[in-house]
Amino acid sequence: DRETTGREQPLWWEERRGELLDIAAESGPCYVYDRETLKKYAGLIRGIGPVDYALYAMKANANPEVLRTFREQGLGFECVSIGEVRRVLDLFPDIDRKEILFTPNFAPRSEYEEALDLGINVTLDNIYPLQQWPELFRGEELFLRIDPGHGHGHHKHVKTGGMHSKFGIPRFEIEEVAGLAGELDLSIKGLHAHIGSGIKDPLSWKQTAIILHKVARQLGGVEILDLGGGFGIRENDTEAHLDIRELTQSLAQFREAHPEYTLWVEPGRFLVAVAGVLLTTVTQLKGKGKVKYVGVDTGMNSFIRPALYGARHTIVDLSRLDEPNSQSVNIVGPICESGDKLGIDRLFPQAAEGDVVLIANTGAYGQVMSSHYNLRPPAQEIVI
Ligand code: LLP
């Protein structure tokens, strides 16, 4: 898109507008994902020279076609639940099990048992499993999720580092973990950190690497540093993506100083966000005092990010892309809450019942966070 090419070329959904209007007419509310754009973003991640291996954080979008596309692009998978692990294994039974990294949080004992039996990489983000279920882990190779002591991200809900976050092993526990590792004959193969989501500071991953290196020195024998996901993208036209070039340069400096490590990253949002749009249709219009409402046939049941994080995604009337924006409106869904707003104070053309409304950059944390609230089925998914 414009951000990654630096050229004034149309966005993928502007180019495929006719096709999208047909899909919306046939399918009702739906997410549409563009495979070529998925590939382009996979290419950008693979192009980060100092990174040896990228895993796709499939919590962002677990659609099977999306997973197949990334598999073809040579990505592994970061899974937060045994359900995600099972989906990967169902789709790719022959995958090398070490291309899957299981990074659960407060998961039940049974999920660790299953993951170890499957032979996938397992990450512990708490000392409790080692203390309480030592027999599970004796002699195993493990990853540890470290809390580097600070968080970052687009909203307080998605900052996952620092003393007020539930994630990760704090650095003051490393000595104790090292002791347990010795008793249980563990090999700590990798260190992992993920400090938050929607990070635009390109130096963040190098800072994480430096802290993980310090922890690795304390533990000894660490081969892999997994620097997490969190690669920020723009949600609307007024923002920019994370600067991948600067990120690459800073990681190259780390790599030069520490060639002893294999470096992994695990982005979710960056790989899928731009490739997805949500299509919904205008149902009714309303003017109440000074406020104008454009009502559409799906809302927070399909896309909760505006309600949950105040996210401000680009929204257009796809049926009237060429008409001037002549009014300011709130775009709202049919759900029984005042928070059911997809966009507030948006410049819009004179919309009419039946128009197709497109919400852009919704490929990440869209459908996966949808619900059947009000018994309104959420938007379906289509890959083109
Ligand atoms: N690795 C771990 C361990 C994670 O917990 C996450 C995201 C990722 C990788 C991928 O992060 P990403 O590259 O997508 O930022 N629902 C929120 C985002 C929650 C992210 C949770 N963890 C949103 O819509 O903004």
DSSP class per residue in 248-282: HHHHHHHHHH-TTSEEEE--SHHHHSTTEEEEEEE
Sequence-distant (≥ 6) Cβ neighbours of residue 288 within 8 angstroms: none
What is the pLDDT, as a whole number, of residue 153? Answer: 87
Q: Could you list the active site residues?
A: 336
**Residues 6+ away with beta carbon under 8 Å from 96:** none
The contacts of residue 17 (CB under 8 Å, 6+ apart) are 318, 321
C-beta neighbour count of 340 within 10 angstroms = 20
How many degrees, rounded to 5, is the angle at CA 102 between CA 101 and CA 106? 155
What pLDDT shows up at residue 154? 86
Atom of ligand 1 nearest to the CA of 229: 13
Whether residue 85 contacts residue 118, with contact meaning beta carbons closer than 8 Å, is answered with: yes
Calculate how far, in angstroms, residue 347's C-alpha sits from the geometric centre of ligand 1: 30
How many Å lie between the centroid of ligand 1 and the Cα of residue 267? 8
Distance from the Cα of residue 59 to its chain's centroid: 6
List, in order, residues 6 or more apart from 378 with CB less than 8 Å away. Answer: 29, 298, 301, 302, 367, 370, 371, 372
Q: What does the pLDDT look like over 268-316, one tens digit per residue?
A: 999 999 999 999 999 999 999 999 999 999 999 999 999 999 999 999 9
- Decide yes or no: CATH 2.70.170.10 for domain 276-383: no
Whether pLDDT at 9 is above 90: no
CATH homologous superfamily for the domain 36-272 = Alanine racemase (3.20.20.10)
Specify the pTM: 0.96
Residue 237 has pLDDT above 90, yes or no: no
- Domains of the chain by residue range: 36-272, 276-383
What are the CA-CA distances from residue 97 to residues 137, 246, 254 (Å)?
A: 18, 32, 28
Averaged pLDDT, 175-196: 96
Q: Do domains 36-272 and 276-383 have the same CATH topology?
A: no
- Distance, in Å, from the CA atom of 230 to the CA atom of 251, rounded to the nearest integer, reads 15
Asked whether 335 and 299 are in contact (CB, 8 A), the reply is yes
Of ligand 1's listed atoms, the one at least distance from the Cα of 369 is 16
What is the pLDDT at residue 58? 98
**Residue 114, token pair as written in the block:** 């299953």
pLDDT in tens, 308-356: 999 999 999 999 999 999 999 999 999 999 999 999 999 999 999 999 9
CB 215 within 8 A of CB 168: no
Centroid of ligand 1 to alpha carbon of 60 (angstroms): 7
pLDDT value at residue 1: 47
**Ligand 1 atom nearest residue 230's Cα:** 15
Ligand 1: does its nearest atom lie under 6 Å from the Cβ of 269? Answer: yes
Determine if ligand 1 sits within 6 Å of the CB of residue 78. yes
Ligand 1 pocket mutation pick from 125, 197, 242 by most atoms within 8 angstroms of CB: 197
Q: Does residue 227 have its Cβ closer than 6 Å to ligand 1?
A: no
Our answer on whether the CB atom of 230 is closer than 6 Å to any ligand 1 atom is yes
Ligand 1 atom with the smallest distance to the CA of 268 is: 14
Q: Is the pLDDT of residue 2 over 60?
A: no
Q: Which two tokens stand for residue 370?
A: 């949808």
SS3 content of the chain, % helix, strand, coil (to 5): 35, 25, 40
